[in-house]
Chains A and B, each alone.
Chain A
Amino acid sequence: MIRNDFPITPELVASHGLKPDEYQRILDLIGREPTFTELGIFSAMWNEHCSYKSSKKWLRTLPTSGPQVIQGPGENAGVVDIGDGQTVVFKMESHNHPSYIEPYQGAATGVGGILRDVFTMGARPVAAMNALRFGAPDHPKTRHLVSGVVSGVGGYGNSFGVPTVGGEVQFDERYNGNILVNAFAAGLADADKIFYSKAEGVGLPVVYLGAKTGRDGVGGATMASAEFDESIEEKRPTVQVGDPFTEKCLLEACLELMASGAVIAIQDMGAAGLTCSAVEMGAKGDLGIRLDLDTVPVREESMTAYEMMLSESQERMLMVLRPEKEAEAEAIFRKWGLDFAIVGVTTDDLRFRVFHQGVEVANLPIKELGDEAPEYDRPWVEPVAPAALASDTIPAGDIVDSLLKLLDSPNLSSRRWVWEQYDTLIQGNSLQRPGADAGVIRVEGHEKKALAFSSDVNPFYCEADPYEGGKQAVAECWRNLTASGALPLAATDNLNFGNPERPEIMGQLVFAIKGIGEACRALDFPIVSGNVSLYNETLGKGIMPTPTIGGVGLIADWARMGRVAFAAENEEILLIGAPAEFGTHLGQSAYLREIHGRKEGLAPHVDLAAERRTGDFVRELISKGIATSAHDLSDGGLAVAIAEMAMASGIGATIDEPKSDSAVASFFGEDQGRYLVTVAKGAAEGLAAEGVSIQHIGVTGGSSLKLGSVHAIPVAELKAAHEGWFPRFMCN
């Protein structure tokens, strides 16, 4: 007999991450002291990671619907209509805490978890992205973390067989103690074949599928809801170990099982494993669940009920099956070498009852476990904007030197070292790979249709102004999709912040969500899924607010797609949506930060109405075949954007001298809502749109880039600078 009768002391409660008032809530709810296993279950369900207790109030304000939205937040992933009876199913989720503790497995299981979320809905994963943020390059842990995270992402995704089509990699000292690993996955499913987690029917078998349960990851979700301190290494056992081979088999088995008509409800075992999945299936379906732990497939001996309920072993699923299909279902799982066990039954008593070795170790009200989680209206203070940049303090640098330095800097250099470790081609549908504005894949079985994906946020903007930064993250994502020629459909948000119990951090969260909501409404770009990661702090020092936005867009005909590379020599270069000076805003710019080490000034303002007008116009130029190449302007401004177009094509360009007092602001300013587009000679004549500025700023051609009056730089030299930093940093 394994003990379940540990005395519940205040220390034990605290070590489960539960506050005294939260524990009192448990006592009030069940009218008695919880058992040890029950305490574990509450801790798993009521931690920040699973309950969103600090963010829920604000998340509710986000727009989550639209004619294209089939399923918004609340399921394993969002579902969006892409026409022809097809849907795209997607979500982004963080695996920050585990990836810092054990980078390879942390990142690998982050990828595994998000893929599982997608195929749990019945969709075959077709694209992945990863938004990674690391500490300063010279921090002693950074290279180790980059190496481990990148090989972990690749190790899992490559083996599973999904192309990684995009992502982000950023460095800043504010992530020294808390890196961010945000994993995105998207899948395709027919609209009439989506699967949900809501159980239906009393007395039906609850089936456990996939890998065996071990002791790995016990308490992982609780760990992910805590700050780090010096004892961080001791948390290593809370990180799960991934097995992409089993996940691939699980994918094939699940899709086969779904096609057989046996599945009533399905939920993957992610954070808080068996506990969270069983409670969710029951609570959503207004049913009780009774589990018999003696039937759970285990890979270690003498596991306690507590351990089984809290294990975060990977590659596991829980399903409610049609009893008459049980034998057929089991045969499919055996074929793929996976475990299949009936571990419980649905009941009508709305209780979550768990039995182990003949003893009832938990008996809790199932609805309350999920719905009655504490919800906080945490105090917050409005963020204070930094001082605006005084124009007389802007150093006038050499444009060419500055451009070369930016291209060779940690945050703007080529990420080839990273994405060449990811399989970007598998499935044979990748139309645009990492390095483009958006990753694009062809929709299999369809002649012309394609999907575009982009992941974006500028944490420096968010730190300076969470509201504008939140708006900007959405706008930038929308802009990247637009520059690829896609109509942006919907987005997923992955909100990474510090400790919400501090009012200034809570203020960042509140204002970032306000900005995100406003931008999503203005751009008809609803949030259909997401994840909140709080407590990204070490010894009281928080990360920059980092609300990563992952967006999906639809391209009607991929023959007319926006591409970054110049298409030909002697074409006209148009700058769209920009002021007469080309650029003006240097606050929080890459120029100031990377060249002069200054994180100063206001974040750029995003005019959402102009954003939309400009984007709609650019998209039309692409879909009509007028634009021969297209690129949005972001970090590093016009100079970096034009250099990227030149480097991608090997074709040079000559840009007019800007009519401006500051060439630095013209070429490196980060004003928002701007695009570069090329058109064939003469094709720009008569182009106009109400409220959209279109400036002819130069021509393509030659093998050098010439920016205004400064001397020309060979494109080959730009490329050498751009490709230099990452391999140098990683020593190969």
Chain B
Amino acid sequence: MKSAVVLLPGLNRDRDMIAALTKIGGRAPLTVWQTDTEIPDVDLIVIPGGFSYGDYLRCGAIAARMPVMKAVAEKAAKGVLVMGVCNGFQILLEAGLLPGALMRNTSLKFVCREVKLEVANANTAFTRAYQPGQILRCPVAHHDGNYFADAETLARLEGEGQVAFRYAEGTNPNGSINNIAGIVSEKGNVLGMMPHPENLIEAAHGGTDGRGLFESALGIAA
């Protein structure tokens, strides 16, 4: 399967993401720049983490209004898989491709540590390589990862199985409501998550729990 990584000024986990896609998918993803108005035919579009536009104004707010995001929205509407990690998740929320908001961590501090994730729905295009309820190790590194949605939205997310990942075993690092770490869109083809699976895919990372996500999205049998 072919993938593309969206590049915006200030993103900084783009190289990590490109490395993960390359190592697991067997070929390097294409890259698209913020001003590109078209995205080539790919099966997976990834918006990596970082601090697009310095997170000034509001995380992801400026990036969400760049031309490339219109192209991403068009692809998402056609059912192409779109995945946003960390700042990518924030951008997808700001672009209206996913519901809810990410607020400042309750600690009011940046946090970088390993947490435990529960696979809350193993029946999505991004999680099918995992077992339902499987507990994963995964690093987080963010300042604004405190997920929030109003009661109605939350009920819908929970009711429709749109919560893909939850912080488990008391490791919620940011105060997210219902321990939500990652959600998918109504149609299931857009995923946003705060943790960084791309930083836990090989022996050098001390574990490979993040691989399942890429194997799922890239259609690779584990």
Contacts and interface: CB of A to CB of B under 8 A. Distances in A.
B10 A249 contact: yes
A428 interface: yes
Interface of B: 9-10, 12-13, 15-16, 19-20, 50-51, 53-56, 107, 109-113, 139, 141, 143, 196, 198-199, 204-205
B204 A426 contact: no
A186 to B, nearest CB: 17
Nearest to B139: A425
Contact of A732 (B16, B107, B110): B107
Given A245-B10, A246-B54, A419-B112, 15 more contacts: A154-B110, A158-B51, A159-B51, A159-B55, A244-B51, A248-B9, A248-B10, A249-B10, A422-B112, A423-B141, A424-B112, A425-B112, A425-B199, A427-B16, A428-B20
Contact of B110 (A160, A243, A421, A558): A421
Interface in A421-477: 421-429, 431, 442
Nearest to B206: A431
B50 A161 contact: yes
Contacts of A421: 109-112
A377 interface: no
A558 B204 CA distance: 9
Nearest to A420: B113
A355 interface: no
A249 B20 CA distance: 23
A151 interface: yes
Interface residues of A, number: 31
A429 B204 contact: yes
A428 B198 contact: yes
Interface in A325-359: 336-337
In the A-B complex, list the 9 residue pairs whose CB atoms are closest, starting with the nearest.
A245-B54, A161-B12, A159-B51, A428-B16, A423-B141, A245-B10, A425-B199, A421-B110, A423-B112
Nearest to A249: B9
B110 A158 contact: yes
Residue in B112, B139, B196 with the greatest tally of chain A CB atoms within 10 Å:
B112
Contacts of B55: 159, 245
A160 B50 CA distance: 8
Contacts of A422: 110, 112
Contact of A159 (B12, B109, B113, B196): B12
8 contacts: A151-B109, A158-B51, A159-B51, A159-B55, A160-B12, A423-B110, A426-B16, A732-B107
A637 interface: no
A161 B86 CA distance: 13
Nearest to A419: B112
Interface in A239-266: 243-246, 248-249, 252
Given A423-B110, A428-B198, A245 B141 contact: no
Given A158-B110, A161-B13, A426-B141, A245 B51 contact: yes
Nearest to B19: A428
Residue in A244, A245, A246 with the greatest tally of chain B CB atoms within 10 Å:
A245
Contacts of A98: none
Nearest to B141: A423
Contacts of B16: 426-428
A425 B141 contact: yes
A155 interface: yes
A427 B12 CA distance: 8
Contact of B9 (A245, A420, A424): A245
A331 to B, nearest CB: 13
Contact of A427 (B15, B20, B113): B15
Contact of B54 (A159, A426, A428): A159
A422 B139 CA distance: 13
B201 to A, nearest CB: 8
A249 B51 CA distance: 11
A155 B12 contact: no
A252 B50 CA distance: 14
Contacts of A431: 204
Contacts of B141: 158, 423, 425-426
Contacts of A160: 12
A151 B110 contact: yes
Contacts of B143: 158
Interface string A384-424: 00000000000000000000000000000000000111111
Contacts of A425: 112, 139, 141, 196, 199
Nearest to A442: B204
